[in-house]
Amino acid sequence: LDPLLELALASIPTDKQGCSPVAVKATAGLRLLGKAKSDAILKQVRKHLEEDYPFPVVDGDGISIMDGSDEGVYAWITTNYLLGNIGTSKKLDTAAVFDLGGGSTQIVFEPTDGDSLLEGEHKYNIEFGGRKFTLYQYSHLGYGLMQARNKVNAEVLKSEMKTAGKSKFVPLKESQIKNAVADVTIENPCVPPGVTAEDVIVELENGDKYAVTFVPPKKTSSDSLAGQCKFLTDLILNKDLDCESDSCSFNGVYQPSFKDQFPSTADMYVFSYFYDRLQPIGMPDSFTLKEMNDIMESVCAGSHLWDKYFTQEAHIKELENEPLWCLDLNFMTSLLHNGYDIPLKRELKTAKTIGGNELGWCLGASLPLLDKSNWTCRVTKEL
């Protein structure tokens, strides 16, 4: 936090610092640590801010783990505010947002008929700029990119354990994890030909962790590999779980149909890890889900074909530096198409910034704070 706070000190006039509130919001990564560890970290952050900086810390949940529903809705506010869809007297179609973090992924959109939404945690009513919005939102904890990676790799590891026997595999001790070196090599269809993923830490459901080196299968064509990897990334979505409503996404979670409840001309924005995996290998800012699937297949075809599909050396360098890029793109495609039921022909947009402002939840979380006019000012310290 300190580099950000030092920038704030340099940017805000000294006599205004005591009236410039600061809030810190943690996301799913901290939530996954458990209550004891996360509470200790948050307590220390608050202490650091209150004792070492002049900015008044927002009371109550000013230093807190953000609820997953708020995370997605704040990202929706950020995107639509920057696009000019909200905060105006005009009634405009709003963009749907898909935020892919490391530990969780969020989906938020405004259904065409908000009154038809089933009641539950997924229904979110807000008022912004004099307009009321009824949103569908859901935060899928455990389906951020890093968690999804682990789920897929765990399926591969468990399959190998059944075949080779568990005695071949020894779980790591806590002290070994940081510098673990794999003593076992496993074929993984999500690792393309010519690529090796070394010393990957894989955690199973019981908490046991293993260091594994993943290599591509030796006797399978690249086309077959793509299908096998897609099978795994579809599998972890648990799409076959019972749906207790007329429409579900994955894991049996209720979600209104995009076909029936979202304008075909409205924007769909994917960002965070979506952007981080697509932009560095040459994907344009606007593309169809089919084009995203095509670039995934190009990455997964194997490193010997990358110079055929990717014309810039920088794109190939990116792929060489991340051996699980094929897995990541497979999961992203599965999530959007199989999980959320977005048609392959649907246009998507991605960006890191709009008008010089970064996308994500932070601006959306800040706007309500700026709406509060009465702040108790702290006496500014001499720095």
- CA pair distance 330, 327, nearest whole angstrom: 5
The angle, 0 to 180 degrees and rounded to 10, between the axes of the packed helices 145-164 and 222-235 is 110
For 265, the token pair is 């001309």
Of the candidates 191, 267, 263, 284, which has an alpha carbon nearest to the alpha carbon of residue 229? 191
For 9, the token pair is 């000190």
- CA pair distance 288, 323, nearest whole angstrom: 25
**Catalytic residue chosen out of the listed positions 6, 50, 51, 71:** 71
Q: Is 313 a catalytic residue?
A: no
- CA pair distance 192, 226, nearest whole angstrom: 9
Length of the chain in terms of residues written:
383
Amino acid at 337: H
Q: Alpha helix (H) ranges present in the chain?
A: 2-11, 14-17, 28-31, 35-52, 68-83, 145-164, 222-235, 258-261, 273-278, 289-300, 306-309, 313-321, 325-333, 362-370
Cα-only R_g, the chain: 23
Give me the DSSP letters along 230-281.
Answer: HHHHHHTTTTTS--SSS-B-STT-B---HHHHS-TTS-EEEEEHHHHHHGGG
Residue bearing tokens 């945690």: 121
Kindly tell me the burial class for residue 64, based on how many C-beta atoms sit within 10 Å of its own C-beta (0-12, 13-18, 19 or more).
middle
- Residue positions annotated with a catalytic role: 71
